[in-house]
Structure 1
Amino acid sequence: MGIFTVDISMSLDGYVTGPNPGVHNGLGDGGERLHDWVFSARTETDLTLLDTTTKATDAVLRGRHTFDVVDGPEGWQGDLGYGTERDQTAARAAGGEG
């Protein structure tokens, strides 16, 4: 059996987005501030940790709401190359189940 790791960026008071997250406002109002620490990492230790975590990720699991917020109404971009039995682009574009 493989290793399952859960990783999420969360504020100390438990928030992962700002208020009003949605399809066209993925991180919510001002939600980028919650994740600034990731993008401002400049020490060698920070960069090594982020690089190691990224390279160790084989798959990302998420629910329908998170999928819609992150990928928007157009669905994901590009060919994933795995995890689907058929081309999902047409079903998603037509508003069907993907």
Structure 2
Amino acid sequence: MGKVVLDVSMSLDGFTAGPNVREAEPMGDGGERLHAWMAAKGPDGEIDAAVRREVDAAVGATIIGRRTFDLGLGSWGGTPWPGVPASW
């Protein structure tokens, strides 16, 4: 049997993107700050990056919300995990 894992960065007040989400800013205004840890920024950056690499290596397929897929197409080329099957 397969395993399903939910993986999302969220602010303490429950947001996953900044305000004004649109095609030019798929994460909204300032939304990239929620995901900066994945780019190894900050005092524990290399630890965060190592954890992210480990999680990404185990991804077999992704399920992405349609709006996220549509808005991320330009920056991701269709999926945040290139070469991994994605459904929306």
TM-score range, shorter chain: 0.7 to 0.9
Q: C-alpha distance in 2, partners of 1:6/1:25? A: 23
**Which residue of 2 is the match for residue 65 of structure 1?**
67
- Residue identity opposite 2:45 in structure 1: R
The gaps in structure 1 that reach 5 residues or longer are: 84-98
Listed as ranges, the gaps of 5+ residues in structure 2 are none
Q: Report the CA distance shift for 1:26/1:57 in structure 2 as closer, same or farther (over 3 A).
A: same
Instruction: Determine whether 1:34 maps to 2:34.
Output: yes
Structure with the higher fraction of residues in strand conformation:
2
Distance in 2 (CA, whole Å) between partners of 1:6 and 1:61 is 10
Q: Normalized against structure 2, the TM-score is what?
A: 0.72
Runs of 4 or more consecutive aligned structure 1 residues displaced over 3 Å after TM superposition: 79-83
Alignment match, 2:10: 10
Q: Please tell me the residue identity of whatever aligns with 1:17.
A: A
Q: How many residues align?
A: 79
Code of the residue aligned with 1:52 in structure 2: it is E
Deviation at 1:82, TM superposition (A): 5.5
TM, length-normalised to structure 1: 0.66
Amino acid at match of 2:33: R
